[in-house]
Amino acid sequence: MNAVTPAGTPSGTPPLAPPLALLAELTHRCPLRCPYCSNPVELTRVAAELDTASWARVFQEASALGCLQVHLSGGEPTARRDIAELVRAAAAAGLYTNLITAGVLLDEAMMARLVEAGLDHVQLSVQDTEPGSAERIGGYRDALPKKLRAARLVREAGLALTLNAVVHRQNLDRLPEMIALALEIGAGRLEVAHVQYYGWALANRDALLPTRAQLEAATAEVQRAREALKGRLVIDYVVPDYYAKRPKSCMGGWGRQFLAVSPAGRVLPCHAAESLPGFDFPNVREVSLRDAWENSEAFNRFRGTGWMKGPCRDCPRAEIDWGGCRCQAFALTGDAAATDPACGLSPDHALLDMAVREAAASEGDFTYRVMGAAPQKA
């Protein structure tokens, strides 16, 4: 599919290629209470979720737009009673289907329905390898045994399996055990994903931010494991920005390679973008996915480099990191158009050093979110 240049896009915007993948956030419901949850602070209620037919149309439009795969996520996607129907609709649209799940609700009957519907891949999250810690982090009793059961069901079904380990100060020292667990359950890929600090994770940053020594040890462990396990296990590594000198290319650049649809139908350039004020994100109830991708002001606002201020505008890395993360820039500075403070050239870079010092002095207590209730301390 050829790239296009939508009308009304700012100067410095490259031709627009089709998105590679769609993140379908089917629901915000989840039995876990992870203190780093990437869902927005304000959760979508069940009554406002897109219905089965609407999601099926979204999948068809995503395929027509050029998407190759769909990540079925949440919350916990298996909390939806129609999850098998949604998998079937995505597969019928010609999309590679990946279920992103905590696994605690997955049983033999559900697994059979998902396989019959055409599921291709499962990404299973794990909070820790020590059962008590896993239970405390996720706020869910007997979480680890249930996740191991889910992993067994996935492998018995012959599906590809990725283990997603979200790491932070309170579990990072057990990274070697997480790598061993990925091998034990037969995962072909391990994603070691440091917590990214916006949304609910920002409220728990002091309890989650690792020390520099932990980060350096983890990075060395990943490098060692990649060499030792080459050909047996692929290890992806997503680092935190709080010790960085240059920002990462968040999502490959705003609105360049990726789009998400929220449970209520809002079309977003990334799953965290709902945290940004002053945006009128389009909704699939009102516009097509193609129109949202190509023509919405929200998507075009930060595409390319024409929107950039100094020092980003004249930086030789402008088309490498695309200015970094807009959600992080807003979370730390209050300005989504600011230079990402992860960059050493940002006038706000010192905010990261301040956050590191504050986290080091923290006692490490979590604040849990419960849908429809006041936040709860650990």
Q: Is 10 part of a structural domain of the chain? A: no
| pLDDT surpasses 70 at 350 | yes
> Between the CA atoms of 287, 289, 290 and 295, what dihedral angle is there, to the nearest 10 degrees?
60
Adjacent-strand bridge partners of 189: 162, 234
CB of 93 within 8 A of CB of 289? no
Q: What is the mean pLDDT of residues 351-356?
A: 92
**Backbone φ and ψ of 203, nearest 5°:** -65, -20
What is the average pLDDT value for the chain, to the nearest integer? Answer: 92
**First vs last C-alpha separation in the chain:** 50
Q: Is 318 part of a structural domain of the chain? A: no
Higher pLDDT, 282 or 14: 282
The pLDDT, as a whole number, for residue 2 is 46
Helix (H, G, I), strand (E, B) or coil at 121: strand
**How sure is the predictor about 1, in pLDDT bands with cuts at 50, 70 and 90?**
very low
pTM: 0.92
| pLDDT surpasses 80 at 7 | no
| pLDDT surpasses 70 at 300 | yes
DSSP state of 243: T
CB of 20 within 8 A of CB of 9? no
The pLDDT, as a whole number, for residue 72 is 98
- Could you tell me which residues come within 8 angstroms of residue 103 by beta carbon, excluding any fewer than 6 positions away? 124, 125, 146, 147, 149, 150, 151
For the beta carbon of residue 235, count every other beta carbon within 10 angstroms. 19
The pLDDT, as a whole number, for residue 4 is 52
- Could you tell me which residues come within 8 angstroms of residue 338 by beta carbon, excluding any fewer than 6 positions away? 309, 329, 330, 346, 348
| pLDDT surpasses 70 at 86 | yes
Q: Is 288 part of a structural domain of the chain? A: no
Q: Is 88 part of a structural domain of the chain? A: yes
Q: Provide the token pair at 203.
A: 């409220």
Domain residue limits at 98: 21-250
The one-letter code for the residue type at 18 is: P
Handedness of CA 131, 34, 149, 128 (dihedral sign): negative
Q: Is 57 part of a structural domain of the chain? A: yes
CA separation for the pair 227, 317 (Å, rounded): 29
The pLDDT, as a whole number, for residue 370 is 63
The pLDDT, as a whole number, for residue 127 is 97
| pLDDT surpasses 80 at 364 | no
In tens, the pLDDT along 51-76 reads 999 999 999 999 999 999 999 999 99
| pLDDT surpasses 50 at 374 | no
pLDDT > 90: what percent of the chain?
A: 80
Q: Which residue has the tokens 């360049």?
A: 256
In tens, the pLDDT along 179-236 reads 999 999 999 999 999 999 987 899 899 999 999 999 999 999 999 999 999 999 999 9
Q: Is 188 part of a structural domain of the chain? A: yes
- Could you tell me which residues come within 8 angstroms of residue 330 by beta carbon, excluding any fewer than 6 positions away? 198, 275, 276, 336, 338
Q: What is the mean pLDDT of residues 325-348?
A: 93
**How sure is the predictor about 372, in pLDDT bands with cuts at 50, 70 and 90?**
low
Q: Is 228 part of a structural domain of the chain? A: yes
CA separation for the pair 305, 318 (Å, rounded): 7
Q: What is the mean pLDDT of residues 288-305?
A: 95
For the chain, the domain total comes to: 1
**Backbone φ and ψ of 188, nearest 5°:** -90, -15
Whichever domain contains 229, its CATH number is 3.20.20.70
Helix (H, G, I), strand (E, B) or coil at 290: helix
Least Cα distance to 98 among 76, 124, 71 occurs for 71
- Pick the range with the lowest mean pLDDT from 36-45, 130-139, 155-164, 291-300: 36-45
Q: Which residues are annotated as a binding site?
A: 30, 34, 37
Handedness of CA 153, 154, 156, 162 (dihedral sign): negative
- Could you tell me which residues come within 8 angstroms of residue 45 by beta carbon, excluding any fewer than 6 positions away? none
Q: Is 245 part of a structural domain of the chain? A: yes
CA separation for the pair 55, 51 (Å, rounded): 6
The pLDDT, as a whole number, for residue 256 is 92
Least Cα distance to 343 among 307, 312, 375, 376 occurs for 312
CB of 273 within 8 A of CB of 38? no
Q: Which residues are annotated as a binding site for [4Fe-4S] cluster?
A: 30, 34, 37
Question: HSE on the CB side for 315, CA within 13 Å?
Answer: 23
- Could you tell me which residues come within 8 angstroms of residue 277 by beta carbon, excluding any fewer than 6 positions away? none
Helix (H, G, I), strand (E, B) or coil at 24: strand
- Pick the range with the lowest mean pLDDT from 17-31, 71-85, 306-320, 358-372: 358-372
**E strand segments, the chain:** 21-25, 69-73, 96-101, 121-126, 160-167, 189-194, 234-238, 258-261, 267-268, 367-368, 376-377
The pLDDT, as a whole number, for residue 310 is 87
Q: What is the mean pLDDT of residues 263-268?
A: 97
| pLDDT surpasses 80 at 42 | no
The pLDDT, as a whole number, for residue 153 is 98
| pLDDT surpasses 60 at 359 | yes
